């Protein structure tokens, strides 16, 4: 029996996310100011006075990453697990536009057209964040998007 592509993608994507995000068990503001805990979890459920256990952080990461992978799989069904993982991590980190919004993302247009190599090669373009109103490349995002690109291309 073959493994579920989403399960494979979850393992591959978390392998990128964990070193990229790092582990912070107390609340902090990410580079754009979003309240964040653990391995990059954001959301209204964060308790700013709490110290999260490692098990809680792992559970949040698995839940968040699986949600991102499901978003990609729903808007672009049938991707190879490596591509699903690469775009899943990108969605986890940057939101669904990168993979699903064809009007705002060249990568999404390439995915929809099944031009997978071109889609993978678009990932490095998503290494910027708006800081003080200016869009700037962040070294950590540049490194992360390159890792996603390499994983993505390995699935071709």
Largest CA distance in the chain: 51
Q: List beta partners, residue 35.
A: 29
Whether 20 contacts 143, CB under 8 Å: yes
Please say if 122 is a catalytic residue.
Answer: no
CA distance 49 to 96: 30
Catalytic residue among 21, 122, 127, 148: 21
Specify whether 146 is catalytic.
Answer: no
Characterise 62 by phi-psi region: left (phi > 0), alpha (psi -120 to 50), beta (else).
Answer: alpha
Catalytic residues: 21, 30
């Amino acid at each position: 029996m073959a493994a579920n592509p989403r399960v494979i993608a979850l393992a591959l994507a978390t392998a990128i996310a964990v070193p990229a995000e790092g582990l912070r068990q107390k609340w902090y503001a990410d580079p754009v100011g979003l309240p964040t805990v653990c391995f990059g979890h954001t959301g209204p459920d964060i308790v700013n006075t709490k110290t999260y256990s490692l098990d809680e952080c792992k559970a949040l990461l698995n839940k968040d990453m699986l949600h991102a992978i499901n978003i990609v799989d729903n808007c672009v069904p049938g991707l190879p697990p490596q591509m699903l993982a690469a775009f899943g991590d990108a969605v986890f980190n940057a939101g669904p536009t990168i993979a699903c919004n064809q009007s705002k993302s060249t990568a999404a247009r390439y995915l929809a057209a099944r031009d997978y190599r071109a889609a993978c090669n678009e990932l490095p373009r998503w290494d910027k964040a708006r800081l003080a109103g200016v869009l700037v490349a962040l070294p950590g995002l540049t490194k992360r998007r390159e890792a996603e690109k390499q994983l993505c291309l390995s699935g071709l």
